[in-house]
A and B are shown apart, each in its own frame.
Chain A
Amino acid sequence: MRNQMIPRVIAKFFIPMILLFGLYVQFHGDFGPGGGFQAGVIFAAAFVLYALIYGLDEAKKVARPAVVEALVALGVLIYAGTGVVSLLKGGKYLDYNVLAHDPIHGQHLGILIVELGVGVTVAAVMITIFFAFAGRGQSE
């Protein structure tokens, strides 16, 4: 599909919208359906589309495998780290009440950070898995 004009133009148009929608789902999970996991999947879908249209090598230039691998780890660290912070602030593990000056703000902040962690790991893992499968096909 690399040389076809129409898919390339449409993809150029769609990819930013998909990313934007991913961000919306990520941060709107408190009010409607959605959250880190779904947002991560949508975010990864944008990269998958990019790789399908422009080729795997181009996609690997945008999302460098080493960086993606680090992000896989980072998401879990963000989530687990939130719990450690609440331990250090004198609460139980993953007790968000102690994160801010009052419980409700603490809960908000905690949920926001934790969902971000989920989103980062899910997006990075999905991209990693796609690269691994696609890369296997390329080398054959």
Chain B
Amino acid sequence: MTELLNVVLLTFMVIVALAAVWLRNLFASVMMMGIFSVLSACTFVVLDAVDVAFTEAAVGAGISTVLMIGTLALTTRDEKTPVRWSVLPLMVVLITGAVLVYGTKDMPRYGDPSAPVHEHVAPRYINDSPAEIGIPNMVTSVLASYRGYDTLGETTVIFTAGIGVLLLLGGYRNRKRQEDEF
């Protein structure tokens, strides 16, 4: 049952993604992206990744949408360039897709409990983390302790983004006006 649900959700995601790319009203496009994020959060719930779903909903449907609307308010709402079909990008994309499909042939089947990812490394997190860390949410155990250093890196990435936005948009008067004054 969950598999069927998954396929339906994924198909919706493809439709919404196509709409987001196709629409030339950027505001509508951004709304589509919000829907896209909510849909992907739903698929993550179906796939048992509740923490990821929570984050995707907060980030994709929340932060990203707010930022994009903010950007639209500061720039423009309409895309000028008409949709054009350029050959080279299309070729690149088709080749990338074909290579990936070729790679799926030897992949473990979806949900297979004997796939390598479930046999190596992960069993320790599942079996021993309640004893070693003592908290029920394994994702938190792995995130903050076993791979806590990655999370320090992640915090640094967010810090970097904050510094970057301050550098680009914070405080001082922008260049355009300085030029206008001359």
> Which of under 10, 10 to 19, 20 to 34, or 35 or more describes the interface residues of A?
35 or more
Interface pair A136/B74, CB less than 8 Å apart = yes
The verdict on A88 contacting chain B, using a C-beta distance below 8 Å, is no
The verdict on B121 contacting chain A, using a C-beta distance below 8 Å, is no
User: Given contacts A33-B50, A122-B158, A125-B158, is CB(A137)–CB(B145) below 8 Å?
Assistant: no
Interface pair B137/A30, CB less than 8 Å apart = yes
Per DSSP, chain B at the interface is helix
Q: Which of B70, B140, B152 contacts A35 (CB 8 A)?
A: B140
Interface pair A128/B162, CB less than 8 Å apart = yes
Roughly how many angstroms separate A72 CA and B135 CA in the complex, as a whole number?
Answer: 28
* Residue numbers in A under 8 Å from B166 (CB-CB): 69, 128, 132
Minimum CB–CB distance for B60 against chain A, Å = 11
Roughly how many angstroms separate A96 CA and B155 CA in the complex, as a whole number?
Answer: 18
Binary contact track A1-40/B, C-beta < 8 Å → 1, others 0: 0000000000000000000000000000111111101100
Interface pair B62/A45, CB less than 8 Å apart = yes
Interface pair B170/A111, CB less than 8 Å apart = no
Interface pair A111/B140, CB less than 8 Å apart = yes
User: Given contacts A29-B137, A111-B135, is CB(A137)–CB(B70) below 8 Å?
Assistant: yes
Roughly how many angstroms separate A64 CA and B112 CA in the complex, as a whole number?
Answer: 52
Roughly how many angstroms separate A75 CA and B88 CA in the complex, as a whole number?
Answer: 45
Interface pair B136/A115, CB less than 8 Å apart = no
Interface pair A35/B135, CB less than 8 Å apart = no
Interface residues of A in 104-121 (CB under 8 A from B): 104, 107-108, 110-111, 114-115, 117-118, 121
Interface pair A76/B156, CB less than 8 Å apart = yes
Roughly how many angstroms separate A132 CA and B139 CA in the complex, as a whole number?
Answer: 33
Q: Which of A94, A118, A132 contacts B149 (CB 8 A)?
A: A94
The verdict on A98 contacting chain B, using a C-beta distance below 8 Å, is no
Interface pair B136/A31, CB less than 8 Å apart = yes
Interface pair B162/A32, CB less than 8 Å apart = no
The verdict on B159 contacting chain A, using a C-beta distance below 8 Å, is yes
Interface pair A125/B70, CB less than 8 Å apart = no
* Residue numbers in A under 8 Å from B122 (CB-CB): none
Q: Measuring CB to CB, which residues of chain A are less than 8 angstroms from any residue of chain B?
A: 29-35, 37-38, 41-42, 45, 48, 69, 72-73, 75-76, 79-80, 83, 93-94, 96, 103-104, 107-108, 110-111, 114-115, 117-118, 121-122, 124-126, 128-130, 132-137, 140
19 contacts across the A-B interface (CB closer than 8 A): A31-B137, A32-B137, A33-B53, A34-B51, A35-B140, A38-B54, A45-B62, A48-B66, A73-B159, A79-B152, A103-B132, A104-B134, A107-B134, A114-B144, A115-B140, A125-B159, A128-B165, A132-B165, A136-B169
